[in-house]
Amino acid sequence: MFVDLNYEPSRDDLVCTFYLEPKGISIEEAAESLAGESSIGTWTEVKTLKENIKRLAAKVFSIEGNIVKVAYPSELFEEGNMPQILSGIAGNIFGLKTIENLRLVDVEFPESLVKSFKGPKFGIDGIRKMFKIYDRPLIGTIVKPKVGLSAKEHAEVAYEAWVNGVDIVKDDENLADMKFNRFEERLKETLKAKERAENETGEKKGYLINVTASALKMIERAKLVEEHGNEYIMIDIITSGFSALQALRELDLNLAIHAHRAGHAAFTRKKKHGISMKVVAKISRIIGVDQLHIGTFGVGKMKGSPEEDREYQKALTEELFGIKKVLPVASGGLHPRVVPELIKKAGIDIVVQAGGGIHGHLRGTAGGAKAMRAAVEAAASGISLEEAAKKSEDLRIALEQWK
């Protein structure tokens, strides 16, 4: 009932691609169980399964090696409800004892479901318009150390980064409302520093404050950020959950949403089991983030490859029923020397985000910011770092420091 290799998915079907390793049964039998459990089936025959309900059955329409493709009628899913969609296509199936390994590799959403969500409010074009930067990647940093600084100390580090060439400063993923650094005080102090930097440089600057918390508290914080005139918020989308992210986006505040993916590797890292980062990227885009961490195309400290990160980038930027493109964020072990290779692999529609690669500079945050700005501008213009270093002492030092 659930395997039909002659079935051709309709434009209204949601199509999932799985990597599947059966346990003790054939792959066809395992695929049958997968499709049944994720749609209308159960472990035994039930009298309540009437003929008219069978039209809602998921259909396994392709089995090639361990790659299984399943089509789901869109009627199975509540529009505008990502948790319910995921409960179907990425729910109980991971616990089936007849399956040794299972990985959700990709999801193709039908137009009806995509358009039932808000999607990004700003996207790449909106963010570039905000900063009036069109010919190079945006430059970002994270205030370091991750935690421990007071609100005023945090603001001063942000100011040093901004005034010396950084465009965007963000909180780290584990900084929230701490006793040593209260959320509201940090917001006020850092926005004052941001205004100083904008006045001194004549450039737009961005502050991505971390609103991650329980859904209600997060909404309260986001509203406070908007009231204070900031343009950005940040949320840890995995640990907060897609439901909380969706609630935040549906507020439709005049805030760009920066999505941090802390925790994703718990289920994306293994190649044979879990959920791919590509799926996370698509879901996040459909719900409505404006920026998302995707990796460093193999040049940074985090596990990943250029090919994988390119797939994630594609998920954020390819045509998807007219919804806006999400700005990919490259982050994790970046420093000025790797910038040309990163831009060569990723293009300029990214955020080059460095923490230690800026604050760890021998001349401190100021020197690191200047070096990164020089490296990004040179690489985006096709100028070698060695040539650019002749005009930037800070870049020269960075190139000697990180070889």
Regarding whether 310 and 253 lie in a shared domain, the answer is yes
End-to-end alpha-carbon separation of the chain, Å? 59
**DSSP code for 44:** S
Regarding whether 71 and 40 lie in a shared domain, the answer is yes
Which of the following is catalytic: 194, 205, 260, 282? 260
CA 98 to chain centre: 32
Q: Is residue 2, in this structure, part of any structural domain at all?
A: no
* Torsion sign across C-alpha atoms 249, 253, 259, 262: negative
pTM attached to this predicted model: 0.94
Give pLDDT tens digits for 332-349.
899 999 999 999 999 999
Give pLDDT tens digits for 238-283.
999 999 999 999 999 999 999 999 899 999 999 999 999 999 999 9
Give pLDDT tens digits for 216-233.
999 999 999 999 999 999
Q: Is residue 30, in this structure, part of any structural domain at all?
A: yes
Regarding whether 200 and 162 lie in a shared domain, the answer is yes
Quote the CA–CA distance of 131 and 129 in Å, as a whole number.
5
**DSSP code for 63:** E
Which of the following is catalytic: 144, 205, 325, 370? 144
Q: Is residue 8, in this structure, part of any structural domain at all?
A: no
Percentage of the chain beyond pLDDT 90 is 89
- Average pLDDT value for the chain: 94
CA distances from 118 to 112, 224, 226, 393 (A): 12, 22, 19, 46
Q: Is residue 72, in this structure, part of any structural domain at all?
A: yes
| CATH for 367 | 3.20.20.110
Q: Is residue 6, in this structure, part of any structural domain at all?
A: no
> CA-CA-CA-CA torsion for 38, 40, 45, 47, nearest 10 degrees?
160
| CATH for 25 | 3.30.70.150
Active site annotation includes 54 = no
Q: What 3-state DSSP class applies to 3?
A: strand
Give pLDDT tens digits for 78-97.
999 999 999 999 999 999 99
Q: Is residue 339, in this structure, part of any structural domain at all?
A: yes
Give pLDDT tens digits for 285-323.
999 999 999 989 988 766 668 899 999 999 999 999 999
Q: Give the pLDDT band (50/70/90) at residue 48.
A: low
Q: Which of 114, 136, 157 is the last residue of a domain?
A: 114
Q: Is residue 1, in this structure, part of any structural domain at all?
A: no
Regarding whether 391 and 248 lie in a shared domain, the answer is yes
Active site annotation includes 273 = no
Q: Which of 114, 136, 152 is the last residue of a domain?
A: 114
Nearest one of 160, 126, 178 to 361, comparing CA atoms: 160
Regarding whether 263 and 241 lie in a shared domain, the answer is yes
Q: Which of 57-61, 186-190, 261-265 has the highest mean pLDDT?
A: 186-190
Regarding whether 162 and 56 lie in a shared domain, the answer is no
pLDDT number for residue 305: 82
Burial class (CB in 10 A: 0-12, 13-18, 19+), 385: buried
Regarding whether 362 and 241 lie in a shared domain, the answer is yes
Regarding whether 140 and 66 lie in a shared domain, the answer is no
Q: Which of 69, 94, 114 is the last residue of a domain?
A: 114
Regarding whether 238 and 154 lie in a shared domain, the answer is yes
Regarding whether 196 and 218 lie in a shared domain, the answer is yes
Q: Is residue 3, in this structure, part of any structural domain at all?
A: no
pLDDT number for residue 344: 96
Q: For the ranges 55-59, 200-204, 206-210, 367-371, which has the lowest average pLDDT? A: 55-59
Quote the CA–CA distance of 256 and 259 in Å, as a whole number.
10
Regarding whether 139 and 102 lie in a shared domain, the answer is no
Q: Which domain holds residue 18?
A: 13-114
Regarding whether 181 and 110 lie in a shared domain, the answer is no
pLDDT number for residue 39: 87
Q: How many domains does the chain have?
A: 2
Nearest one of 255, 257, 360 to 301, comparing CA atoms: 360
